[in-house]
Amino acid sequence: MQHDKILILDFGSQVTQLIARRVREANVYCEVHPCDVSSDWVREFAADGKLKGIILSGSHASVYEVDDRAPDAVFELNLPVLGICYGMQTMATQLGGKVEGSSTREFGYAEVRAHGHTKLLQGIEDFATAEGHGMLKVWMSHGDKVTELPPGFKVMASTPSCPIA
63: left (phi over 0), alpha (psi -120 to 50) or beta: alpha
In which band, very low, low, confident or very high, does the pLDDT at 28 lie, cut at 50, 70 and 90? very high
Do the beta carbons of residue 112 and residue 133 sit within 8 Å?
no
CATH 3.40.50.880 fits 1-95, yes or no: yes
State mean pLDDT over 16-42: 95
Q: What percent of the chain has pLDDT over 70?
A: 93
Q: Residue 1: pLDDT above 70? A: no
State mean pLDDT over 87-115: 86
CATH 3.40.50.880 fits 97-165, yes or no: yes
User: How far is residue 33's CA from residue 62's CA, in Å, rounded to a whole number?
Assistant: 20
Every domain range in the chain assigned CATH 3.40.50.880: 1-95, 97-165
Q: Residue 46: pLDDT above 80? A: yes
State mean pLDDT over 82-97: 94
Position 117 scores a pLDDT of 65
46 vs 32, 106, 114, CA distance in Å?
A: 14, 35, 30
User: How far is residue 93's CA from residue 149's CA, in Å, rounded to a whole number?
Assistant: 9
Q: Residue 68: pLDDT above 80? A: yes
State mean pLDDT over 22-27: 92
